[in-house]
Chain A
Amino acid sequence: MKYFFLFLFLIIFSAFSFSQLEVCNTCSIKSIKQAIKIADTGATILVKKGIYIEDSIIIKKPLTLKGIGKPVIDGKKKGYVIEVNSENVTIDGFVIKNVGVSYTKDYAAVHLYKSNNFKLLNNRLETVFFGFLIEKSDGGIVKNNIVSSNAQHEYNSGNGIHLWHCDSVEINGNECFGLRDGIYFEFVTNTLIHKNTSHNNLRYGLHFMFSNNNEYHHNHFQKNGAGVAVMFSKFLKMHHNIFENNWGNAAYGLLLKEIYDAELRNNEFRNNTTAIKAEGSTRVNYSNNNFVENGWAVKITGACYENKFTLNNFVNNSFNLSYNSKINDNSFNSNYWSDYSGYDLDRNGVGDIPFRPVKLFNYVVNQTPESIVLMRSLFIDIINFSEKVSPVFTPDEVKDNTPLMKKNPFQLKLN
């Protein structure tokens, strides 16, 4: 609704200003910079198809830049391409490429600073350092953009969509790849992130810190160097996301560090080395998630309290759960475990004997990682069995008292 009024406001505003400029290679105005200079406040600048070699395009008044037929703005690796410092700016339908690389400045294809109510739509950003760098700007939308680069090293590459100190932004339907971090937030609140794809990034597909009250759904993160990392945030909601194929010794489908009061439901974790690693995360509800064919489905390290795991499916993971301490304050109830070998005599769909997801071998691998080569050997099966009968090394109270006999029939569909 808010956006609708904004939109109406923009239409009325631009209608009153009576200004619409055209930029093309054969028009009287040949450069975007020139058009911005002479445009009235609130004007619409239509940029026709063509290649514009420009950098440091500075916008200091409300404007709408609209590309027709995907005009290309080539920054020639000099620095920022577009810099915005005004409210109500729209950039729609451009191809922006070749952003400068710097070790001291965060050069970006589009840099917004204190620019509320922005709209960044349908752009394609190629070989960027930073893609969209949005600072101290509230109430905007970043939609249907494709941001890509060819990052080789973490030290000289930037992030795709980078938000810093923002509030109430919508990030929708973007694709980020070949960058350092696909989507990066710091101090961002009340923001909705949905239907984005972030893949093949050097570090994280999604990375945020100190960002409370955000909602993430229907996103797809895959093949990122270190998966997805979320840290130091409260009240976050993540649902219907897919995390897959994040491989490596420091790669996590989802890394939770110092997360409080979060809700994770209906997500799918597939083929990750570690699907979820939780560290110092408290009051997180995990429900209806699918953990399929991961190395470790859930790794819980220190200081995780009052987390609840309910109605999740743990299917064919090499290890279901790993715990590094004997203290347990988390609950596991009514999950489906494909390793469960109990019975259901009263046929109510719930296994009659509890399932212990932490195996002795898990403990052994934590102590001596090299022993992973013994996985699935007969000897390991024997010691796992004896531990199962009488737990000595594994936390006794970590168990699912009501394991499901059949898979929770929840299917994840994006869109």
Chain B
Amino acid sequence: MLKIFKYSFFDLIRGKWSLIYFGFFFISSMSLLYISGDVAKVIISLMNIILLLNPLIATIFGVMYFYNSREFSELLLAQPIKRRDIFLGQYLGLSVSLSISFILGLLIPFAIFGIFSTNQVTNAVTLLFVGTILTLIFSAIAFYIALRNENKIKGFGTAIFLWLFFAVIYDGIFLLLLMTFNEYPLEKFALVSMIFNPIDLSRILILLNLDISALMGYTGAVFNQFFGNMLGISISIFVLLIWIVTPIFFFLRSLKKKDF
């Protein structure tokens, strides 16, 4: 597995896409920091970019990589190597190379502008952490979708829809439910619903530091109490980890039955 991981990792990290991905984050965070003197504002803008783009890029790349490396996978499958090792190696190669491009793209500008010596250091670290986790989650989901769909168009379609669902539609449905049942106490419901969407969960982890004043008001205090203490944060991180493990589990399960 390690060998395959190494192979696909170096293959990807030398490719132009990871360079473009790195360049995008590098340039956008550089220019944001350069234009706006206000670090808090930059963090908010970067948060919007990361919550939108990281899952999207991870999804598209995951699907694309899986389909493109099909011939290579078939070649490997003919060898006496475990199926699990081949595909896990490829998954890790992809997600780790994407994460590294992302982390470096953010880390270097942060270091240049000396953010780690300001009071925004927790926000910056949370941002890096959340971006990486989202990459891991969505490339796992993408691999699973690509495995289940032989048809490339269908695979791409499903993957994009899934991204759209978590990024936009989920929140819409959630808001609709909240407005419909606003006669009832909904704090617990809102808390639980947020856990089922990794993008929302990541957003809240960052918001807790940024918009703490607003979150202290009204029912916001409930969320602050939950996500603000160590237990809440541990639960959130644990849930995010489950979000990585679950698609990988399903991926491996259907991998066993798959007839290549």
Interface residue B127 (Cβ < 8 Å from any Cβ of A): no
Residue of B nearest to A374 (CB): B171
A6-18 vs B, CB cutoff 8 Å, 1 = contact: the mask equals 0000000000000
Q: CB within 8 A of A380: which of B47, B171, B178?
A: B171
Interface residue B179 (Cβ < 8 Å from any Cβ of A): yes
Instruction: Check B171–A379 contact: CB distance below 8 A.
Output: yes
Residue of B nearest to A338 (CB): B41
Tell me the smallest distance from the CB of A358 to a CB of chain B, in Å.
15
Residue of B nearest to A274 (CB): B217
Interface residue B51 (Cβ < 8 Å from any Cβ of A): yes
Interface residue A376 (Cβ < 8 Å from any Cβ of B): yes
In the bound complex, how far is the Cα of B214 from the Cα of A274, in angstroms? 8
Interface residue B85 (Cβ < 8 Å from any Cβ of A): no
A294: which B residues are within 8 A, CB to CB?
Answer: 213-214
Q: CB within 8 A of A382: which of B44, B168, B215?
A: B168
Which residues of B (159-199) have their CB < 8 Å from a CB of A?
167-169, 171-172, 174-175, 178-179, 182, 186-187, 189-191, 194, 199
Q: CB within 8 A of A369: which of B47, B204, B207, B218?
A: B218
B46-83 vs A, CB cutoff 8 Å, 1 = contact: the mask equals 01100110000000000000000000000000000000
Which residues of B (204-224) have their CB < 8 Å from a CB of A?
204, 207, 211-221, 223
A368: which B residues are within 8 A, CB to CB?
Answer: 178-179, 182, 186
A251: which B residues are within 8 A, CB to CB?
Answer: 216
A22-56 vs B, CB cutoff 8 Å, 1 = contact: the mask equals 00000000000000000000000000000000000
In the bound complex, how far is the Cα of B171 from the Cα of A382, in angstroms? 11
Tell me the smallest distance from the CB of B197 to a CB of chain A, in Å.
10
Contacts A376-B48, A378-B167 given: A369-B216 contact, CB under 8 Å? no
Instruction: Check A296–B217 contact: CB distance below 8 A.
Output: yes
Instruction: Check B211–A273 contact: CB distance below 8 A.
Output: no
B213: which A residues are within 8 A, CB to CB?
Answer: 247, 271-273, 293-295, 318
Contacts A338-B41, A376-B48 given: A369-B219 contact, CB under 8 Å? yes
Interface residue B40 (Cβ < 8 Å from any Cβ of A): yes
Q: CB within 8 A of A374: which of B175, B189, B217, B218?
A: B175
Instruction: Check A379–B172 contact: CB distance below 8 A.
Output: yes
Interface residue A331 (Cβ < 8 Å from any Cβ of B): no
Instruction: Check B214–A295 contact: CB distance below 8 A.
Output: yes
A273: which B residues are within 8 A, CB to CB?
Answer: 213-214, 216-217
Identify which of B44, B190, B204, B214 gathers the most chain A CB atoms within 10 Å of its CB: B214
Q: Told that A273-B214, A370-B219, A371-B178 touch, could you supply 18 new A-B pairs with CB distance under 8 A?
A: A249-B216, A249-B220, A271-B213, A272-B213, A295-B211, A295-B217, A295-B220, A316-B41, A368-B178, A371-B175, A372-B215, A373-B194, A373-B223, A374-B171, A376-B207, A378-B51, A378-B168, A381-B48
